[in-house]
Amino acid sequence: MISRINLNVFGYSAEFSINLGSGTIRITSPTSDTKWKPGETVQITWTSTGTITDVDIDIFKEDTLLYYTVDEYPDLGVVTWIIPSDIEQGTNWKVSITNSDNSAQSDTTDAFSIKNPDPNYLPLTIGIIVGAVGVAALGLVIRSRFKKRRSRDIVQKIGSESRDIPQHTLKKEREQSPSKPSIEKSIKFCMDCGHPNKKEVAFCEECGTKLPY
């Protein structure tokens, strides 16, 4: 205090503090379930009570302060942050908000993640499986057609060879081997699919086509 009569007469009081704002702070976003990505724009939100006017917002990775977002920011309950695209990715990020007038009044979030999502290999896996099935199916179709064509060629060849053999030769062979039936009489080849059938059947055992003989 200073005397108004004599300015050389003065004295000091004991130390004291003036708290302009007081109250509590609770951060509502981010939370432990938050998953932010590098390069995106996000909002940090909080609620407060009392007479808090300004807050300090800090961003940590583990316990290391990496981003000092703003100092003495108005206690509006929300601030926008553009996450750097080259930020160190991880699951141990935290946000702390403190009363600018009283550092003892603050709140810190649980750890949350800032990282790009893991790649999804499911579509690629499905594509590989579908492609493999398609190739296998194509191979079966080609094999089936080749088998039918080969059987048809065999039937035509047997028929051609039978026509070329003189009748007296066929008769002589039957006399020499009476117990051995000829191929034409013991087997019926289907002209549609080429399947060899028993002589007593009227329809192809493979495709059901009526046999011509």
pLDDT digits (tens, 9 = 90+) for 1-12: 555 565 565 566
Residues 62 and 127 in one domain: no
Range of the domain at 95: 25-114
Give the global pTM.
0.50
Residues 107 and 134 in one domain: no
Residues 106 and 130 in one domain: no
Residues 36 and 108 in one domain: yes
In this predicted structure, what is the pLDDT of residue 7? Answer: 58
16's tokens = 């004291």
In this predicted structure, what is the pLDDT of residue 41? Answer: 96
In this predicted structure, what is the pLDDT of residue 68? Answer: 78
Residues 188, 155: Cα–Cα separation, whole Å: 9
Collapse the DSSP code of 57 into the 3-class scheme (helix H, G, I; strand E, B; otherwise coil) and give the result.
strand
Which residues of the chain carry a pLDDT beneath 70?
A: 1-20, 120-125, 127, 139, 141, 143-185, 213
Position 10 in a domain: no
Position 20 in a domain: no
In this predicted structure, what is the pLDDT of residue 69? Answer: 81
Please state, in angstroms and as integers, the Cα–Cα distance from residue 197 to each residue in 75, 152, 162, 202, following that order: 93, 13, 18, 9
In this predicted structure, what is the pLDDT of residue 24? Answer: 95
Residues 110 and 30 in one domain: yes
Which of 82, 114, 146 is the C-terminal boundary of a domain? 114
In this predicted structure, what is the pLDDT of residue 192? Answer: 80
Nearest of 86, 105, 110 to residue 37 by alpha carbon:
86
Residues 58 and 128 in one domain: no
Residue 48, domain CATH: 2.60.40.1930
Residues 83, 64: Cα–Cα separation, whole Å: 17
Position 169 in a domain: yes
Position 189 in a domain: yes
Position 55 in a domain: yes
Position 67 in a domain: yes
Start-to-end C-alpha separation, the chain? 134
Which of 92, 114, 136 is the C-terminal boundary of a domain? 114
Q: Are 180 and 187 in contact, with CB atoms under 8 Å apart?
A: no
Overall number of domains in the chain: 2
Position 183 in a domain: yes
Position 50 in a domain: yes
